[in-house]
């Protein structure tokens, strides 16, 4: 299950439990709308409560990222999981956005707001 919240030029996503294809499609809808009417957006993913993801979701993520390679400015990922940190860095192959992983929500928020936040 996911929750989404959107602000001007930004989409926040929090994942609870397993991240499924249906959840990702919900995320895509919100992002596609924002891109259409606002241009490139920032993303904030809170993955601290995520317990895993489905294979079809992972494949859709790759497809979506490739189709929208130039539509994101900054992507902040909030997690303490080393596997998710590694996969976040790998995802930079598919998008032109700056991608950063954070352990503290305040640091992620500050960075998305334009502040210089040191890499942990």
Q: What is the pLDDT of residues 41-99, one digit of tens each?
A: 999 999 999 998 899 998 998 899 989 999 999 999 999 887 776 677 666 677 889 98
Helix, strand or coil, per DSSP, at residue 7? strand
Highest mean pLDDT among 11-25, 91-105, 106-120: 11-25
Asked if residue 40 lies in contact with residue 73, where contact means CB atoms within 8 angstroms, the answer is yes
Segments forming the whole domain that contains residue 97:
2-112
CATH number at residue 55: 3.40.50.10600
Whether this model's pTM surpasses 0.85? yes
Tell me the pLDDT band of 117, cut-offs 50, 70 and 90.
confident
Q: How many separate domains does the chain show?
A: 1
Express the helix, strand and coil content of the chain in percent, nearest 5 each: 40, 35, 25
Asked if residue 14 is part of any domain, the answer here is: yes
Kindly state whether residue 60 falls inside one of the protein's structural domains.
yes
Mean pLDDT of 8-34: 96
Let me know if residue 24 belongs to a domain: yes
């Amino acid at each position: 299950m996911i929750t989404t919240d959107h602000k001007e030029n930004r989409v926040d996503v929090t994942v609870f439990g397993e991240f499924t294809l249906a959840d990702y499609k919900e995320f895509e809808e919100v992002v596609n709308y924002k891109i259409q009417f606002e241009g490139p957006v920032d993303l904030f993913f809170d993955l601290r409560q995520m317990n895993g993801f489905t294979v079809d979701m992972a494949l859709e993520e790759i497809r979506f990222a490739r189709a929208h390679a130039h539509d994101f400015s900054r992507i902040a990922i909030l997690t303490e999981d080393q596997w998710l940190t590694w996969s976040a860095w790998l995802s930079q192959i598919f998008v032109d956005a700056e991608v950063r992983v954070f352990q503290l929500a305040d640091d992620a928020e500050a960075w998305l707001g334009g502040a210089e936040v040191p890499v942990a």
